[in-house]
Amino acid sequence: MSRSAQRRDLHDPALYINRELSQLAFNARVLAQAEDPSMPLLERLRFLCICSTNIDEFFEIRVAALKQQISFGSAIAMPDALGPQETFKQVRVRALELLESQYQLWNKTLRPALKKQGIRFLMRNEWNLRQRHWLQEYFQREILPVLSPLGLDPAHPFPRILNKSLNIAVVLKGRDAFGREGHMAIVRAPRSLPRVIQLPTELGDGTLGFVLLSSVLHEFVDELFSGMQVKGSYQFRITRNSELIVDDDETEDLADAIKGELRGRGFAQAVRMEVADNCPKVTIKFLIANFQLDETDIYRCHGPVNLNRVSAVYDMIDRPDLKFSKFTPRVQPRLAAAASVFDAVREGDVLLHHPFDSFTSVLDFLRQASTDADVLAIKQTLYRTGTDSPLVAYLIDAARAGKDVTVVIELRARFDEEANLSLADRLQEAGVQVVYGVVGYKTHAKMLLVVRREAAGLRRYVHLSTGNYHASTARTYTDLGLLTCHPEIGDDVHKLFHQISGLGSMIHLSRLLHAPFTLHTTLMQKISREIAHAEAGVPAAIRAKINHLNEPQVIQLLYTASRAGVQIDLVIRGTCCLRPGVAGVSDNIRVRSVVGRFLEHSRVYWFANNGDSEIFCSSADWLDRNLLRRIEVCFPILDPPLAERVYTEEIENYLADNQQAWALQADGQYQRVVAGTAMPHLAQNALLAKLCH
C-alpha cells in the first residue's frame, strides 16, 4: 500500500456512495429480475410491478425530503458531499432511465410474451366490435354511476387529487346546457373501481383478455360530457409527500396527533406528476401549475401511469407453469414431535428460518400461550402485523382469559399507521394494555415474551426475530427467529419491555444488545477487536448480511479494518454507501447484493474473534436511524449447532450465490456475478431444497 493511500482521509466524500442513488440502483436490480428471461413470465410481471411500487415509495419519502430541503434552502450534504439540489438532479436522471426501462420492458417484451401464452392486455385499437360493445355496457353499468366528472370554471376550481390516484384530464370544446364554455374537466377514478377488467371467456378468442380501467375511461369519456366535443383525454397521477410529521416535543397524545396527520396525508405536497406521453405541453403546464410543480417533476409514461396496478392479474391467472413452483414450509421436527412449543423449547433453543420454516410455529407459540392455564403474562411488540392477523385474536383471547397482556404498538410504522391505530383500539377494547413506545424513538424491535408458572418456578419463554409478526410477509421475506427459554435472554427481554413501557434509568443487559444504547457502541467495539487481531498477526474477519448500510462511523471503521487486513464480506440487499475495492482503503472489503424470489430481510453479524466466533441476529440494519434513533434488538445465537446453521445458511450460502448475486464495484456500479466454470449456486433455491417439501 502506498503511503498516500494509507494517509487518505476516511472522510473523503469520494469514499461514499450517495444514499438516494444507491436506493435507485437497488430498484434497477429488482427491474433486472423482470428483464431476466429465465424467470417465470408472471413472476417477471410481478417484479416489474414491485419496482414500480418501490419507486412510488422512493418519491413519497426520499424525494419528498429532498424537495423540502431544497425549499428550505438547506445546504447540508451527506458524507458523499452531494447537497440536496445536486442529489435531486442526479436522482431525476436515474429515475427517468428507470422509467424508460420499465415501459420498454412492458411494451416490447412482457406484453408480447404474455400474448404468446394466451394472456392479452388489449389496447383500445385492439378491441373487436363484440369486445367494445361489452366494455361499453360494462362502463355504463359498473363505472359511469360512480364517476363524478368536474368541469373547471370559476365556480368549480381544480379539485383535490388524492395521492397516487388515477385521473383523466379531458380537453373540451363547446357550450353546455347552461351556456358555459367548455375548456377542461377532470375525471377521477374512484379507488373502489378495479384497475384491471377481465373480459368474459367467450370474448377472448381463446385467450385471457384484460383491459385496463384507464383505457375504458379514455374510450367512453365522451358519455360524461353530452353535447360537448372531447378534443383529448390524458391520464395523470400525482405522487405526494407521505411522511407524517409529528412534533415529539409538542405532542401530548401520539395517537391523536397521528390521526390528525393521516387525515391530510393523501393531499400533502405534490412531489411528482406522471402523465401520458401524448399529453400536450399546454395541458401539462396547466396541471403542474395547479399542483405547484416544476418541469423537473414531470415523468412522461409510455403506457398506463399506474403500471403497478397490473399486478392484480397475477392472482387472476391460474397458470402454475408461469409462476414459481409452490413449496410447503417445514415445521421444525422438534416442534412437530413435542406436545407443546413450551416442551420443545425447554429441550433447547429452536431456530426458525422463514419462509422455509413455517411461520405457524410462531402462531402456535402464541396460541398455546393464550389458552395455557399456567401462562401468567404475555408481552409483544407489533410493528406491521396485517389487518386480519390471527396473532391479534390470540392476544385478545389471552386478555379475556385473565392473563396480563401488554402490547407495544409502533404507530409510526410507515404506511401502516392507520391499521395500527385500529389495531390498538381493538386490543384496548379487549383489555390488552397497549403502549405506543417511546416518543422520538420508533420501536422496531421484534420481541415476544411469555411468562409461565412451572414446577421449578416462573420461566420466561421468548421469541426474537429479524422480521415482523406478519403471516403474509413471512411467506415472501427471508427472516430468522429464535425460540428460547435461556434465563439471561428472558431476563433481558423482560427488562426491555419494562424500559419501553415505564420510566427509569439505563438498564444493563446480559446477552442482548439494544439501540439506541449499546448496539452501535458494541458493534464498533467488535469491529475494533478484529482490527486488533489483524494487527497482532491473527487472521481476522467480519461477515454480515443486512439490508442497508449508511452509518458513517461504521463505514469509516470498516475502512480502517480493511487497511489493517481484516477480511470483510458484506451481503447487502439494498442501499450501501460504502465503496469496496478502493486501493489502500477497502481492498479487503467485498459487497454483494442478492435479489431473488424472496425479499432478503434477515440481518446477521458474524465476527471471527480469533477462533471463538460470535454470531448475532438483529432487527437493525447498519443505518444511522436504526443504530442511533430507534429501539432495536440484537440477539446472539448461543447454541453451537444453531450458530453453525445460521452461518452456513445465511453467510456461506449467500456468498456462494452466482445466479442472483450482484457485486458492488469501487465506482458504485453493480455487476452481475457469473458462475463461470463454477457449479451454479442459487442461495434461495438451495434453502428450499434443504428445508422444504
CATH number at residue 404: 3.30.870.10
In a domain, 6, yes or no: no
Using alpha carbons, select from 391, 573, 403, 401 the residue that is nearest to residue 478: 573
Is there a domain that residue 308 lies in? yes
| Same domain (yes/no): 294, 376 | no
Which pLDDT score, from 0 to 100, does residue 5 have? 55
Q: Which three cell numbers stand for residue 193?
A: 373501481
Q: Which of 266, 291, 322 is the last residue of a domain?
A: 322
Q: Is 444 a catalytic residue?
A: yes
- Dihedral Cα 71, 73, 78, 82, nearest 10 deg: 90
Q: Which regions of the chain are under pLDDT 50?
A: 246-252, 258, 261-262, 265
Same domain, 580 and 471: no
Same domain assignment for residues 38 and 80: yes
3 occurs within a structural domain: no
Report the helix count and the strand count for the chain, using DSSP H and E: 23, 27
Last residue of a domain, one of 453, 481, 511: 511
391 lies in a domain? Answer: yes
283 falls within a domain: yes
Other beta carbons less than 10 A from residue 222's beta carbon: 15
Please state, in angstroms and rounded to a whole number, the distance separating the CA atoms of residues 410 and 382: 6
Question: 170: which residues sit within 8 A by CB, 6+ positions away?
Answer: 149, 184, 185, 186, 187, 221, 224, 225, 230, 232, 233
- Burial of 247-283, coded b for 16+ CB within 10 Å and e otherwise, reads eeeeeeeebebbeebeeebeebebbbbbbbeebeeeb
Instruction: Identify the domain boundary among 511, 528, 548.
Output: 511
The string of DSSP codes covering 536-586 is TT---EEEEEES-B--HHHHHHHHHHHHHT-EEEEEESS-B-B-TT-TTTS
Would 286 be classed as within a structural domain? Answer: yes
CATH number at residue 182: 3.30.1840.10
d(CA 205, CA 656): 47
Is-contact 412 258, C-beta < 8 A?
A: yes
Is the CB of residue 223 less than 8 Å from the CB of residue 187?
no
Residues in the chain: 693
| Residue 337 host element (H or E) | helix 333-337
Range of the domain at 188: 15-322
> Is there a single domain that holds both residue 578 and residue 684?
yes
Residue 197 within any structural domain of the chain: yes
Q: What pLDDT, on the 0 to 100 scale, is given for residue 72? A: 84
The per-residue pLDDT for 424 is 81
- 548 and 503 co-located in one domain: no
What pLDDT is attached to residue 174? 81
With H, G, I as helix, E, B as strand and everything else as coil, classify residue 97: helix
Are both 566 and 536 inside the same structural domain?
yes
Q: Is residue 169 included in any domain, yes or no?
A: yes
Q: Which three cell numbers stand for residue 239?
A: 405522487
Kindly report the number of other CB atoms within 10 A of residue 106's CB atom: 22
List pLDDT tens digits, range 292-302.
999 999 999 99
Average pLDDT score, the chain: 91
Please name which of 399, 401, 395 lies closest in space to residue 423, comparing C-alpha atoms: 395
Among residues 218, 354, 444, 601, which one is catalytic? 444
Which one-letter DSSP state was computed for residue 203?
G
412 and 553 together in one domain? no
What gap in Å lies between CA 657 and CA 71, rounded to an integer?
Answer: 44
Q: Are 180 and 153 in contact (CB under 8 A)?
A: yes
Question: Do residues 530 and 611 touch, judged by C-beta distance below 8 A?
Answer: no
**How many structural domains compose the chain?**
3
Same domain assignment for residues 191 and 338:
no
- Domain match, 198 and 347 both: no
Q: Indicate whether 258 and 363 sit together in one domain.
A: no
| 275 and 384 in a common domain | no
Contacts of 251 (CB under 8 A, 6+ apart): 257, 439
Non-local (6+) Cβ contacts of 547 within 8 A are 572, 573, 574, 575, 600, 601, 603, 621
b/e map of 166-187 (b: 16 or more CB within 10 Å)?
bbbbbbbeeeeeeeeebebbbb
- The predicted pLDDT at position 258 comes to 47
Whether residue 231 is found in the same domain as residue 362? no
